[in-house]
Structure 1
Amino acid sequence: MYTVLVIDDSPSMRRIIKDMINEIDEFEVISMAVDAFDAREKIKQYEPDIVTIDINMPKMNGVVFLRNLMRLHPMPAVVISGESVRGNDIFDDGAVGFIPKPEGGESMISFQKRIKETLLNLTFLLKRYTLKKPKALVSKTKNTNAVEYKIHPDEVIPSTPTRGSGYKLIAIGSSTGGVESLLKVFQNLPENLPPILISQHIPYGFSNSFAHRLNDNSNVNVQEAKDGMLLERGHAYLAPGNMHLTVVKNGLEYKTKLLDTKKVSQHKPSVDVLYRSVNNVIGSSAMAIIMTGMGDDGTIGMKDMFNNNVYTVAQNEISCVVFGMPAKAIKAGAVKDIVHLDDIAQYIIDYSMGKRR
């Protein structure tokens, strides 16, 4: 079952789209929003698998909202609009589908058929884009008072810290706002840095294109991580949107290992899993950075790292889009340095040269 947020300023059109989507067995409208600002709050509240967006909306038009969504919280989006002339443009803005609203006397049956065909054609992508939702969110008879069980990293990767391998590695965790923030950091990084591992909360399908975008805007060779990749200087490895990224030692070499297990700290990929792995394998010679994001993913792993003398850094409040994950890590006493986004690249360079510990 895939959950949908319908965004449209017309009450009648919201109701029509909702009823039509709810007729499709694989989909359920979990909520509706009247404009972009309402949608932003409901995306945070309900974490839908997919959103439908109208272009003509008050306060902020759908195109601007779509671009902001792809920048700050990438997720599958289908535009349902009367502006058919925008049909090609919206794919460049990040949409995965476009459905024109009925015009010229088109029947509602025909409109419903187009909605159904579009959404069903996207299921093969949604299987990769989405993390499985707890039953409380997807059941047609859901219990709204149900609480999702939060998986601790111990259930996926037990803590066995290494005191010091002498191997330099940078682990970065980020979420909401991380896409643009990571771009800003990587644009200022030089070649030949120690390997960088990144766990950014992002749906699978977007992660590969984001890795290419980072690569195109950086001197670092960035790629979406695959299982068993040899970690090399001057390279960065981004966790796929549906797998945990970890590191393993194989003889004298260090390689990526992807884990297809439960969500940890409510996420997959999880920053906690990445940090726990780095602490276990690399230990005190590593550097860990926690950046903008909602929630507390990364706090457990970073606290373990801090206690193991890993060099830990958090993005400061003023430069965060959402001061959630860094704030939680700071409050837990897991952070050595608190740094403005503009300075994170220099801190990485300094660490690589042995100037920061």
Structure 2
Amino acid sequence: MLESDPGIEVVGAAPDPYAARDQIKRLDPDVITLDVEMPRMDGITFLENLMRLRPMPVVMVSSLTHDGAKVTLQALELGAVDFVTKPARELSVKLEDYAAEVVAKVKAAARATIRPLTNFSGTEREAFRERVKESLREAGAYEARSAGTRQRLVAIGASTGGTEAIRRVLECLPPDSPPIVISQHIPASFSGPFAERLNSVTSLTVKEATDRAPIMPGHAYVAPGDWHLRVQRDGARLICRIDQSETVNRHRPSVDVMFDSVAESAGSEAVGVLLTGMGRDGAEGLARMKASGAATIVQDEASSTVWGMPGAAVSLGAADEILSLEQIPARMMQFAANGRARSA
């Protein structure tokens, strides 16, 4: 599949991590693909060593199982750029579509920003969390909410690099945060473990969205893999709606679908956040959110793994502000407390 693309040269293939280590030193590849299950050393151990000693773009090859999802999310935390799933025996997608996905993700990985493993250590994570919490206090977001200001809905979209970016945003937030809806490009069997993982590291209640679930403060709702997540007004409250209508921008869930529904249902009472990701999904939806009066935030290029989706939104003029990942939580909460006009 990789060799079928003229822009990719496969310089080596290794049967196990020890052979891979020697080939990496000799061939100096731009990207490696890495299976989790290998002889002599598991993929996670090898990845951890690689990202500590020689950080480079890695695309994981994962099985479509609950356990495979949990291990893949661990690999993304360790610094892998992205993952592709092994096709099931009875292919639900055409082989050429699968090949196109593999090629696109390897090419995106070659352009990705890679950070050393030290950035993902417990010490660094805690320091990041404390800096964000201090920014929240300085922004007065806590005081604004306690004064009874109406809370707004936050909508977050992401793709490549997004599982970690979303985690780093959510784990800093207080338990009385405004409700959050999330569309992350992810397979069906991965969204459940992803929601479980977020729920374990944040004070919010994080769950997969279910149809007609009420959207409540202190909760975050993750779009199920292979389902679009929309927000709908039901009287005075907002509810989740999920469906399997046609893919948008080749994705389901699609960030554009979610952002469009938030623009229609919440308007100026919403905050849109577009994080790292490959492609353009979410850019036009964020522009429609901004036109409806919502505050909009885009992750900057320096802190993004891939600046495709955020960059597309910036080119459309969809961003009120372009911020680093570290700056986003405090500004997001300030917008949620005060709205776009009063936070300017």
Q: Which of 97, 100, 115 is 1:137 aligned to?
A: 97
**Aligned position for 1:93:** 71
**Aligned position for 1:332:** 316
**Aligned position for 2:180:** 196
Q: CA 1:261–1:322 in structure 2 vs 1: closer, same or farther (change >3 Å)? A: same
| Contact 1:4–1:52 (CA under 8 A) maintained in structure 2 | no
| Contact 1:222–1:235 (CA under 8 A) maintained in structure 2 | yes
- Normalising by structure 1, we get a TM-score of 0.61
Q: Give deviations 1:70-92, integer Å, cap 9, x for gaps.
A: x98776349xxxxxxxxxx9997
- Normalising by structure 2, we get a TM-score of 0.63
| Contact 2:32–2:59 (CA under 8 A) maintained in structure 1 | no
Larger radius of gyration: 1
| Contact 1:55–1:63 (CA under 8 A) maintained in structure 2 | no
| Contact 2:152–2:337 (CA under 8 A) maintained in structure 1 | no
**Aligned position for 2:343:** 356
Q: Give deviations 1:81-111, integer Å, cap 9, x for gaps.
A: xxxxxxxx9997349xxxxxxxxxxxxxxxx
For the residue of structure 1 that corresponds to 2:239, the secondary structure is strand
CA distance in 2, matches of 1:263, 1:306: 23
Structure 1: any 5+ residue segments left out of the alignment? 15-33, 41-50, 79-88, 96-118, 145-165
| Matched pairs, number | 255
State the 1:307 CA deviation: 1.9
Q: Does 1:269 align with 2:253?
A: yes
Q: How does 1:25-64 map to 2 (within 5 A)?
A: 37-39=30-32, 55=38, 62-63=43-44
CA distance in 2, matches of 1:167, 1:181: 23
CA distance in 2, matches of 1:4, 1:53: 19
1:289 partner amino acid: V
CA distance in 2, matches of 1:223, 1:171: 15
Structure 1 residue runs of 4 or more that deviate by more than 2 Å after TM superposition = 7-11, 34-40, 51-57, 60-68, 71-78, 89-95, 132-139
For the residue of structure 2 that corresponds to 1:273, the secondary structure is helix
Higher helix share: 2
| Contact 1:175–1:291 (CA under 8 A) maintained in structure 2 | yes
State the 1:183 CA deviation: 1.0
**Aligned position for 1:220:** 204
Structure 2: any 5+ residue segments left out of the alignment? 4-9, 17-26, 52-56, 74-85, 104-149
Q: Give deviations 1:46-67, integer Å, cap 9, x for gaps.
A: xxxxx8567479xx98435767
Q: CA 1:310–1:90 in structure 2 vs 1: closer, same or farther (change >3 Å)? A: closer
